[in-house]
Structure 1
Amino acid sequence: MSMPTLVIGKNGKTGRRVDTLLQIAGYRTRAVSRSTDIAFDWQQPEGWLEAMQGCGSAYVCFQPDLAVPAASHAIAEFIRLARQAGIRHIVLLSGRGEAGAQHAERLVMASGLEWNIVRASWFAQNFSEGILIDGVLNGQVVLPAGDIPEPFVDTDDIAAVAFACLTQPALVNQVFEVTGPQLLTLRDCVDVLSDITGNSIEFVPVSAEDFLQGLRQQGQPEDVLWLMNELFTVVMDGRNSRVANGVEKALGRPATSFRDYALKAARAGAWASPAAVATV
């Protein structure tokens, strides 16, 4: 790859990891976000072409999620501009069991460009870098759907698969469904974190309505509220309660377990203090 790879989401959980892996391996990147010199904002398509110019491939992470109604239109416009800019290969981060995400995937597959879909389960890092870290630090994780099992995936694994897709031509034009190696409920995850951190962390089940009301009182934007409602009232119904082999298929090694993720995060000081909260 003599041309740079466009990495959307420079500060995101997966984008910054993909960018780091590419740079360590000697590849040139252009990692962008709303705050970079060449800015990329999913709400401002008039600026996308500038970010794309001169890049040969792109790692695409849509915010807040491909499930939201506006995502398909944005991805269609991104593809149009990517073709205009000369991008030849798109690696799309997608989600499991989401109708909107599946539509966006089909758009990428039918784009005429080389493509890969990295279809991921729930991020384990939500407990250490995302919406759940405050609950872990405060000893009380309050969520709906506590008994629905999910194969939580380490975002380091997601980034490694995306890196492989971007750098290994033999993997092009394939879907990699990436999950952790075992099914755990949210309650199970909290128990693992209690054991590893040595702190008493309680899982508190609430209704989806009460959870959304709490987010509303925090001032969360409407697209996030829509997404959380979709997640906890539609997607987390057991449809994703199965393990997939995308990590092993792409990398030739097993996926990282939730316990191994938690041990790694604890060693890095993820739950040492509230100051450890990473940029989402």
Structure 2
Amino acid sequence: MDTNNSPQRVLVTGGTGMTGRRVTRLLTERGVDHRVASRSGHQESGTPPFDWGSPDTWDAVLDGSDAVYLCYHPDLALPGAAETVTAFATRATEHGVRRMALLSGRGEPEAQRAEEQVRAVFPGLTVLRCSFFAQNFSEHFFVPAVLSGTLALPVADVPEPFVDLDDVAEVATLALTEDGHAGEVYEMTGPRALTFTEVGKVLGAAAGHPVEYRRVSVEEFVAASAAQGIPEEVAQGLAALFGEVLDGRNTATTGGVERALGRPARSFEEYVADAAKTDARGR
């Protein structure tokens, strides 16, 4: 489904989230017309409200779009996600979408089932299959743990090659705007794997206080997540996901970032240094 034409408009689902807002920024820098899909709509891009759970909101955001970034919330590995994104991809095909990039996860059977189902209706799909995001420690569910000084997780201290979201967004943007990426599966990791104990040391050095890893039960993790305002069903889903994929199966690094971008993936240490600088300047 690649063509020699630049996209007329890119639809960014999850456009206000961690990856989506990075993709949106890169599209803006490239001067590419785009829509940011969100539940409340997005006035700047003239986008009506969009909800994964309400198919009657899909056609309005797809109208006039010929490239789509698929980022399912809360996670592609959760029950029902594969069916929902496949139905959306089918609708996108009916609207004449020519390029599509799907954010997916390494070692997640349900996410990989979603990849297969979406590819069945959109053969030119580009899959962005990622390890855990480095930015989870500064922008998402690990933030309270870093601030408290304790990474309390329901998993063993296994190595994980955390990937920098800026790398992921750059690959996504290329797939949505340039030829040569249709049908590709980019499995993306950082350049080396770190245990949570090692991660804590890197974060602690930047934060100026110790950050220690501690293994807890699923019940303890869910209770702590609830105290942070995370719905119980989401916390249970995260705990199940952590237990499934943080078991050593994803420890090996890959060359997906370099294959797509022609440069090495950014390291966890580089990410932490940049995050520290950002915090020092103020967000």
User: TM-score, normalising length from structure 2?
Assistant: 0.91
Q: Tell me what 2:104 maps to.
A: 94
Give yes or no for contact 1:208–1:232 (8 Å, CA) kept in 2: no
Query: Residues of 2 paired with 1:134 and 1:216: CA distance?
Result: 12
Stretch deviating more after TM superposition (156-165 or 33-42): 33-42
Give the superposition deviation at 1:170.
1.3
Is 2:47 the counterpart of 1:42?
A: no
Cα separation, 2, equivalents of 1:209 and 1:71? 25
Q: Name which of 6, 19, 26 aligns with 2:24.
A: 19
Q: Which amino acid aligns with 1:261?
A: Y
State the number of aligned residues.
273
Matched, 1:175 2:185: yes
* Pairs within 5 Å for 1:248-267: 248-267=258-277
d(CA) in 1 for partners of 2:13 and 2:168? 15
Structure 2 residue runs of 5 or longer lacking an equivalent are 1-5, 43-47
AA aligned opposite 1:197: A
Q: Single out whichever of 206-215 and 100-109 deviates more from structure 2.
A: 206-215
Cα drift, residue 218 of structure 1 = 4.8
Shift in Å at residue 157 of structure 1? 0.5
Letter of the structure 2 residue corresponding to residue 17 of structure 1: R
1:53·1:86 contact (CA, 8 Å) conserved in 2? no
- Identical amino acids, percent of aligned pairs: 43
* Residue in 1 that maps onto 2:138: 128
1:228 paired with 2:238, answer yes
Q: 2: CA distance between counterparts of 1:199 and 1:226?
A: 29
User: What 5-or-longer segments of structure 1 have no aligned partner?
Assistant: none
Question: Structure 1 stretches (4+) deviating beyond 6 angstroms?
Answer: none
Q: Could you tell me which amino acid in structure 2 is paired with residue 5 of structure 1?
A: V
Counterpart check, 1:71 vs 2:81: yes
Deviation at 1:200, TM superposition (A): 2.2
Quote the Cα distance in structure 2 between the aligned partners of 1:196 and 1:225: 28
Residue correspondence of structure 1 range 1-280 to structure 2 within 5 A = 1-37=6-42, 38-216=48-226, 218=228, 220-269=230-279
Q: Is the 8 A contact 2:167 2:265 kept in 1?
A: yes
Distance in 2 between residues matched to 1:197 and 1:218, nearest whole Å = 21
| 1:155 maps to amino acid | L
Q: RMSD of aligned C-alpha atoms? A: 1.8
Q: Deviations over 1:178-236 (max 9, x none)?
A: 11000101221111011122222232321223212333455533541342132232221
Shift of 1:99: 1.1
What's the TM-score once normalised by structure 1's chain length? Answer: 0.92
Letter of the 1:53 counterpart: D
